Amino acid sequence: MTANTQLKFEEARSFLLSLAKERGVQLEVFAQRGTETTVQAFGGQVSEFKLSSKQGVGLRALSNGAWGYAYTENLSRDALSRAFRSAVENAELVEPAPHAVLAAHAEPPAMDLFGEGLSGVTVERKVAVALRLEQAAKESDARVVTVPYAEYSDGESETAVANTEGLDRAFKELHAYQYLGPLVAEDGQNKMKMAFQVTREFEELDPTATALEATRKALALLGARPAPSGVFPAVIENECMALLLAVFSGIFSGKMVEEGKSPLASKLGERIGSDLVTILDDATLERGLSSRPFDAEGYPSAPVTLVQGGELRGFLHNTETAAKAGVSSTGHASRPSYKGTVGVSPTNFVLASGEGTRDDLLTQLGTGLLLTDVQGVHAGANPITGEFSLQAEGFWVENGVVAYPLDVFTVAGNFLDLLRSVEAVGSDTKMSIYGAIAPSVRISSINVGGQ
Amino acid sequence: MLDRELVSEVLSVARAGGADFAELFMEDTVTTNLHLLQGKVKDAGGGNIYGAGLRLFYGTNVVYAYTNDCTREGLLEVARAMARARGQGGEVDARGAGGLDFRSLDAQKLWNVREHPLRTSKQAKLEIARRAYGAARVGHVKTVDVTYIDVAQRILVANSLGDWSEDERVRSRLMVSAIAEDGSDRATGYNGPGAALGMEFFDGDLPERAGAEAARIANAMLRAGYAPAGKLPVVIGNAFGGVIFHEACGHILETTSVAKKASVFADKLGEKIAHESVSAVDDGTIPGAWGSINVDDEATPSERTVLIENGVLKSFMVDRLGELQTGYRRTGSGRRQDYTFAPTSRMRNTFILEGDKTPEELIAGVEFGLYARTMGGGSVSPGTGDYNFSVNEGYLIRNGEIAEPVRGAALVGNGAQDLLNIVGVAKDLSRGQGMCGSLSGSIPTDVGQPHILVSEITVGGRA
């Protein structure tokens, strides 16, 4: 390997597009670049400081009706040419996709995801956020033994999509976020809980509030008692409901439907949840974690309703899955990064809110389970069948109030049964770290594995 | 990959703010990804991961930075930014001045790759995936996904102590998912063998066996009822069954959590933490194994580390930073997904050693319980030791015999407690392959064990 001269981001794109035009190949270039700063605090000091700068291009060539992919982080002319040849060669191996098309899609909406930017934020202020997280947690309660995780992180990035059909668009975004996990102990019991805050403006971060939230959550788990085994009515707290929603969002993917992997495949127009269930996806939400003006194909973003009053109204699509299904793209083409292939993914995936606070739902519940978190979703939840069996965290509720926390236990069920068993939807909407948004819900029953 | 003089200069510039230690990691990685759905080529891709990471230690505090621009100017620019990162830039520390005289470490070459994937046609790779697909189309299996992956990662690690190490890591893997359907019933099965080998890994009938195993599980689970909920004795299968040790115990023996006292085993060295039938190792030296490495991502040679011997805690898994923090000997466990991560202490091939029972003897000892034959993944909270993992293929045990199949359940518990509850270990050790996610990204690791009997675990099923 020689230390080849690297082209600038924009130069790399136009170099690739001109290569493609010379060879008569239709090409899409998906490019990302960004910088990040991460500060971890431990023991009153900065334990880790990370600066990063990353860029890369993902190529998708449409050659003889078939897609071929390649990517490179090396932006030398040689490496870019190699990636281009590789994409064309890969297209020759792949089955032609009858609906494959590259186009200059309609103009995307104007969105500001960058705010004031980070250029005016000094390193000292970032460090202060990380240190404050740890300190505030330690000061909050004598039972906080240590804070193994306390981190501030920010990033500025640019995503660009261009193709040989004349599409060329880009957007910039910023995130600033903080999280911490204090370890609390009492009577030989250890508990740890994470809390986080993500924003698009540095000034909005409130480390003390996040630290207090994490400690409060961890302390609430002390004094846990064995959970009973059985079937119980339950309230699923907003953040946990948002997590479940994110995990099973794949069942609404037009790609999963097309490939026979969604349990909703033949249910369009049918009732799949209680009439209190309305689910939508909105990439244009002003404060959404996953907001963006256009998708990985450059297709403009717009909100889409998937379930209305319990009835399945549609699926998420990119241009290809949409064409196969005889509908229009919903603007949900996704790429995990320039390394990945184009699929279908949700953005801000939302369970619409209803009426009443979490406490109102608990009052209605009377006696049963308050489910506050689940773990192990990557293995214990199966979007192909809808089944789940997961490590859980929660509280026993008696006479409408939280009685005591529960030792580690499990919850099991099927996500579609869960949607059908919704008896009340709260108004306390919260965004999970996975980008899904949900209020607390009350369901008629869930299987609990404990003692 | 890079000129020694340039590396020396970059490390010196990075240390100009007074850092005790500087390290450069560079990689040039070529990947191939092929995806077959229903026997047809759905996606063909892959590419070039290319970048460098620089790490500084100030005492036990770390500054890390990375870039894709590995030109002289690109690297020097990052080094200068790092020297300023702690806000004391400009001062050239005595330790930062002067050139480095690198010495190459004695190259530990544990095995050789015979057929390099970059010298093999993609058609030949597709043929391997097609064979797995053919073998999976049995019984009620309606949908089969096969993913073929190969990776050739060339790395360079050099540091201000003068260590210089270069290596190439070749890995190959086949992942088969099968969906069986009958009426409204559906079940999934999965098998994903992998190795740190080239195309020779696929010699013989490996693709057919991978396909058949995924199909076997999907078909077996198609008409399964639900697992019961509650505390039960559980016999856990060999190979990927070792994920229980990986989650319940492995992660909390990494110095990353030990050093922060966020591990329930932090002060337990030399103490009995498991039943006396349990011995376990983390062995990075098995030739061609999926998690094996000649040298870790910090230029420390890989080794076989005994973690637990007859129930007694013998060692942690220690990286360079962990050694500084805890004083424990470095074990060649510093690993990272790629240049975008600073290395942390991670597992390689982690498994429980053989005992003296047969699997049948373990099952015969259970009146009513669960036989968790194949496993999915899991996770653990290091601070508490609470872990979970999921059962892909399970059966009830009635009166000492394997009875009806039951659908995937979660097993949950606490690592520190459940290690003491392993009461029987069989003599059929084998290993399975997975990707382990943690602070320094997703890395290939083997899990493994013989069949084991755990006296009591909470099973998440339906009451």
Domain assignment present for residue A92? The answer is: no
Distance, CA of A259 to CA of A280 (rounded, Å)? 22
> Which residues 62-121 of chain B have a CB within 8 Å of chain A?
62-72, 74, 78, 81-82, 85-87
Domain assignment present for residue A352? The answer is: yes
Domain assignment present for residue B87? The answer is: yes
pTM of the model: 0.93
Domain assignment present for residue B159? The answer is: no
Residue B85's domain spans which residues? 4-30+45-104
Contact with chain B for residue A81, Cβ under 8 A: no
Distance, CA of A106 to CA of A428 (rounded, Å)? 36
CA-based nearest residue in chain B for residue A68: B44
**Number of domains comprising chain A:** 2
Q: Give the closest of B44, B72, B384 to A69, CB-based.
A: B44
Distance, CA of B353 to CA of B75 (rounded, Å)? 45
Set of chain A residues whose Cβ sits within 8 Å of the Cβ of B43: 67, 69, 94, 341
B205 and B184: one domain? yes
Q: Over the stretch A255-304, which tens digit does the pLDDT of each residue have?
A: 999 999 999 999 999 999 999 999 999 999 988 999 999 999 999 999 99
Q: Over the stretch A46-79, which tens digit does the pLDDT of each residue have?
A: 999 999 999 999 999 999 999 999 999 999 999 9
Planar angle of CA B337, B341, B343, nearest 5 degrees = 80
Please check the confidence at residue A216 and state whether its pLDDT lies above 60: yes
B289 and B186: one domain? no
Q: What is the mean pLDDT of residues B286-303?
A: 97
Q: Give the closest of A4, A49, A93 to B41, CB-based.
A: A93
B348 and B395: one domain? yes
Please check the confidence at residue A1 and state whether its pLDDT lies above 50: no
Contact with chain B for residue A100, Cβ under 8 A: no
A233 and A216: one domain? no
> Which residues 307-336 of chain A have a CB within 8 Å of chain B?
none
Q: Over the stretch B350-360, which tens digit does the pLDDT of each residue have?
A: 999 999 999 99
Lowest mean pLDDT among A339-343, B83-87, B285-289, B414-418: B83-87
pLDDT computed for residue B353 by the predictor:
98
CA distances from B270 to B275, B306, B344, B369, B425 (A): 14, 12, 24, 33, 22
pLDDT computed for residue A434 by the predictor:
80
Distance from CA of A292 to the nearest CA of B (A): 25
Q: What is the mean pLDDT of residues A121-134?
A: 95
Set of chain A residues whose Cβ sits within 8 Å of the Cβ of B142: 260
Please check the confidence at residue B392 and state whether its pLDDT lies above 90: yes
Segment (H or E) for A396: strand A387-398
Distance, CA of A132 to CA of B371 (rounded, Å)? 48
Distance, CA of B177 to CA of B284 (rounded, Å)? 28
Residue B130 Cα to chain centre, angstroms: 27
Q: Which residues contact A22 (CB under 8 A, 6 or more apart)?
A: none
Q: Give the closest of B41, B63, B410 to A390, CB-based.
A: B410
Contact B44 A231 (CB under 8 A): no
A369 and A436: one domain? yes
SS3 of A326-362 = CCCCCCCEECCCCCCCCEECCCCEEECCCCCCHHHHH
Domain boundary among A197, A220, A243: A220
Distance, CA of B143 to CA of B190 (rounded, Å)? 12
A278 and A183: one domain? no
Domain assignment present for residue A118? The answer is: no
Contact B412 A70 (CB under 8 A): no
A203 and A175: one domain? yes
CA-based nearest residue in chain B for residue A8: B69
Distance from CA of A330 to the nearest CA of B (A): 22
A138 and A262: one domain? no
Residue A185's domain is classified under what CATH number? 3.30.2290.10
Domain assignment present for residue B418? The answer is: yes
Residue A317 contacts residue A332 (beta carbons within 8 Å)? yes
Domain assignment present for residue A131? The answer is: yes
List, in sequence order, every residue forming a beta bridge with B272; answer none if it has no partner.
B312
The residue assigned the tokens 């705010």 is A115
Distance from CA of A412 to the nearest CA of B (A): 6
Q: Over the stretch B51-110, which tens digit does the pLDDT of each residue have?
A: 999 999 999 999 999 999 999 999 999 999 998 877 554 444 444 445 678 877 666 899
Domain assignment present for residue A364? The answer is: yes
Residue B403 contacts residue B396 (beta carbons within 8 Å)? yes
Lowest mean pLDDT among A362-371, A377-386, B139-148: A377-386
Coil, helix or strand at residue B424: strand
B315 and B448: one domain? yes
Q: Over the stretch A77-92, which tens digit does the pLDDT of each residue have?
A: 999 999 999 999 999 9
Q: Give the closest of B44, B72, B229 to A412, CB-based.
A: B229
ipTM of the complex: 0.91
CA-based nearest residue in chain B for residue A67: B43
Interface test with B, best of A49, A191, A334, A377 (most B CBs within 10 A): A49
Distance, CA of A403 to CA of A396 (rounded, Å)? 6
Beta-strand pair A343-344/A333-334: antiparallel
A147 and A231: one domain? no
pLDDT computed for residue B98 by the predictor:
55
Distance, CA of A317 to CA of B315 (rounded, Å)? 51
Residue B24's domain is classified under what CATH number? 3.30.720
Residue B343 contacts residue B298 (beta carbons within 8 Å)? yes
> Which residues 332-391 of chain A have a CB within 8 Å of chain B?
339, 341, 375-376, 378-380, 382, 384-385, 387, 389-391
B205 and B265: one domain? no
Residue A182's domain spans which residues? 123-220
Q: Over the stretch B173-209, which tens digit does the pLDDT of each residue have?
A: 999 999 999 988 899 999 999 999 999 999 999 999 9
B402 and B327: one domain? yes
Please check the confidence at residue B232 and state whether its pLDDT lies above 60: yes
Domain assignment present for residue B36? The answer is: no
Residue B441 contacts residue B340 (beta carbons within 8 Å)? yes
Set of chain B residues whose Cβ sits within 8 Å of the Cβ of A56: 68
B308 and B210: one domain? no
Domain boundary among B185, B206, B223: B223
B266 and B360: one domain? yes
B448 and B338: one domain? yes
Dihedral in degrees, nearest 10, Cα atoms A353, A413, A434, B413: 130
Domain boundary among A193, A220, A247: A220
Question: What is the full DSSP assignment across B62-86?
Answer: EEEEEES--SHHHHHHHHHHHHHTT
Residue A333 contacts residue A302 (beta carbons within 8 Å)? no
Backbone angles phi, psi at A4, to 5 degrees: -65, 150
Distance from CA of A295 to the nearest CA of B (A): 20
Domain assignment present for residue A304? The answer is: yes
**Predicted confidence band at B449 (pLDDT cuts at 50, 70, 90)?**
very high
B116 or B381: whose pLDDT is higher?
B116
Domain assignment present for residue B111? The answer is: no
A273 and A213: one domain? no
Question: What is the full DSSP assignment across A85-113?
Answer: HHHHHHHHHSPP-TT-----PPPPPP--B
Interface test with B, best of A29, A36, A53 (most B CBs within 10 A): A53
Set of chain A residues whose Cβ sits within 8 Å of the Cβ of B179: 260-261, 384
CA distances from A22 to A7, A17, A19, A304, A333 (A): 19, 9, 5, 39, 27
Coil, helix or strand at residue B372: strand
Domain assignment present for residue A97? The answer is: no
B355 and B407: one domain? yes
A446 and A389: one domain? yes
Contact B412 A91 (CB under 8 A): no
Contact with chain B for residue A69, Cβ under 8 A: yes
B393 and B304: one domain? yes
Domain assignment present for residue B160? The answer is: no
Contact with chain B for residue A447, Cβ under 8 A: yes
Contact with chain B for residue A188, Cβ under 8 A: no
A138 and A177: one domain? yes
Reference B340, options A39, A4, A73; nearest CA is A73
Domain assignment present for residue B207? The answer is: yes
Domain boundary among A220, A251, A266: A220
Contact with chain B for residue A73, Cβ under 8 A: yes
Contact with chain B for residue A416, Cβ under 8 A: no
A208 and A325: one domain? no
pLDDT computed for residue A435 by the predictor:
84
A2 or A163: whose pLDDT is higher?
A163
pLDDT computed for residue A328 by the predictor:
96
A83-117 b/e (C-beta count within 10 Å ≥ 16 → b): bbebbbebbebbbeeeebebeebeebeebebbbee
Question: What is the full DSSP assignment across B153-164?
Answer: EEEEEEETTSEE
Distance from CA of B381 to the nearest CA of A (A): 8
B210 and B330: one domain? no
Contact B51 A83 (CB under 8 A): no
Lowest mean pLDDT among A334-343, B244-253, B314-323: B244-253
Contact A75 B49 (CB under 8 A): no
Q: Give the closest of B143, B260, B378 to A261, CB-based.
A: B143
pLDDT computed for residue A254 by the predictor:
97
Residue B181's domain is classified under what CATH number? 3.30.2290.10
pLDDT computed for residue B265 by the predictor:
86
pLDDT computed for residue B87 by the predictor:
58
A424 and A287: one domain? yes
Domain assignment present for residue B311? The answer is: yes
Domain assignment present for residue A332? The answer is: yes
A196 and A276: one domain? no
**Number of domains comprising chain B:** 3
Reference B39, options B150, B186, B142; nearest CA is B142
pLDDT computed for residue B90 by the predictor:
40
Contact A74 B67 (CB under 8 A): no
Contact B462 A339 (CB under 8 A): no
Beta strand ranges found along A252-320 (DSSP E):
279-281, 304-308, 311-312
Could you tell me how many CB contacts below 8 A there are between chain A and chain B? 263
